[in-house]
Amino acid sequence: MKKNEGERVQLALKTKEKERAELSIRLKTLPQDLEKALKDKKESTQKEAKEIHARITALEAELAAPAKTPNRYPGQSHSAGGLASVASSKNTRTSLQHLKSQEQILNRARSD
């Protein structure tokens, strides 16, 4: 019985020692792991911000350019073409606003 209890204590001691060694290694590597994760996150955020900025620039250029949409159907009037360009312009503005809000969020995340 005492032998059994001694073996159990020895096993528990070895288990705890192994856990302590693993945690010690983890503690030593944790700063590098966190630094790498932060660097990766920063790079991906910057890449995404550049993509969004490029999309914003393209949408702003599209908004600034006069709408030249030809009539799609032979019987379509000029006012119908005008309505289509107004609707397209509104969608572009909505997309532009959405992209600008995403860019602001990314800039805040980058500064944190």
Above 60 in pLDDT, residue 76? no
- pTM listed for this prediction: 0.47
Residue 6: enclosing H or E segment and its boundaries? Answer: helix 2-64
d(CA 78, CA 92): 21
Give the pLDDT confidence score for residue 67 in this predicted structure.
58
Above 70 in pLDDT, residue 86? no
Q: Is residue 1 very low, low, confident or very high in pLDDT (cuts 50, 70, 90)?
A: low
Above 90 in pLDDT, residue 88? no
d(CA 27, CA 31): 8
What secondary structure letter does DSSP report for 66?
A: P
